[in-house]
């Protein structure tokens, strides 16, 4: 049983790396879509990106980051004022509450600095594993995989997992992909999900990993 499991894992890792190699070639300039200049700006942008497009977030933060430069700035305004500033990102009341609580914790526990530690990031109010992974990887270079809707969907379509649980998907991807590629893996899958493997209208015949995908449909 142990030998068959090892063989299965080996073939799975091999297929994963073949797919990764093709995605790297297809998207050589891959990078995070959110615009930011500091870890704190990325943290705020990622909180705002929940149920919102990156383009919309970038549009909002262009003026937001001129008004709010540090955690204390967000605590100086009323909830209503902050809600108005982030209104177009959706769920603005909850996001304003999360941002304020997060900033309060940063000031009280981390001297106003975004912690360079995954568990500490994950402990911040309004910050889940996805947000912590985005900040850890893209702001500090800490190996992490952020499981967003694209990563969740493509991980299932490519046959790596059969679950919608982000935590289980994250752990599985970490098992079969090289640690040095964890940060960009999310970007590759997100880029492919936006350009080719589009929900409801995938372009399978244009897919560079179609020959390795169990969900390939020649009629698409």
Active site residue 130: yes
Catalytically annotated residue among 130, 179, 203, 211: 130
Active site residue 148: yes
* Tokens 């911040």 -> residue: 124
Task: Single out the residue of 78, 90, 84 nearest to residue 64, CA to CA.
Answer: 84
For residues 55 and 24, is the Cβ–Cβ distance under 8 A?
no
d(CA 106, CA 114) in angstroms, rounded, equals 7
Residue 104 DSSP code: H
d(CA 80, CA 77) in angstroms, rounded, equals 8
Catalytically annotated residue among 54, 85, 148, 181: 148
d(CA 151, CA 140) in angstroms, rounded, equals 21
Sign of the C-alpha dihedral computed for residues 152, 156, 157 and 160 taken in this order: positive
What are the residue numbers of the active site? 130, 148
């Amino acid at each position: 049983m142990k030998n068959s499991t090892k063989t299965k894992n080996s073939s799975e890792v091999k297929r994963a790396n073949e797919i990764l190699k093709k995605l790297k070639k297809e998207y050589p300039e891959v990078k995070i879509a959110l615009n930011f200049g500091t870890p704190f700006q990325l943290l705020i942008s990622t909180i705002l990106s929940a149920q919102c497009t990156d383009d919309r977030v970038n549009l909002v933060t262009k003026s937001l980051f001129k008004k709010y430069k540090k955690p204390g700035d967000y605590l100086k305004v009323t909830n209503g004022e902050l809600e108005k500033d982030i209104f177009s990102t959706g769920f603005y009341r909850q996001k304003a509450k999360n941002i304020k609580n997060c900033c309060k914790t940063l000031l009280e526990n981390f001297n106003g600095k975004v912690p360079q530690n995954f568990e500490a990031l994950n402990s911040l109010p309004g910050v889940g594993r996805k947000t912590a992974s985005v900040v850890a990887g893209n702001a500090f270079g800490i190996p992490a995989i952020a499981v967003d809707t694209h990563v969740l969907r493509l991980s299932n379509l490519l046959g790596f997992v059969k679950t919608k649980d982000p935590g289980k998907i994250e752990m599985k991807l970490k098992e079969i992909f090289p640690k040095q590629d964890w940060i960009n893996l999310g970007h590759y899958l997100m880029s492919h999900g936006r350009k080719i493997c589009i929900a409801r209208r995938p372009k399978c015949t244009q897919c560079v990993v179609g020959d390795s995908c169990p969900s390939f449909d020649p009629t698409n």
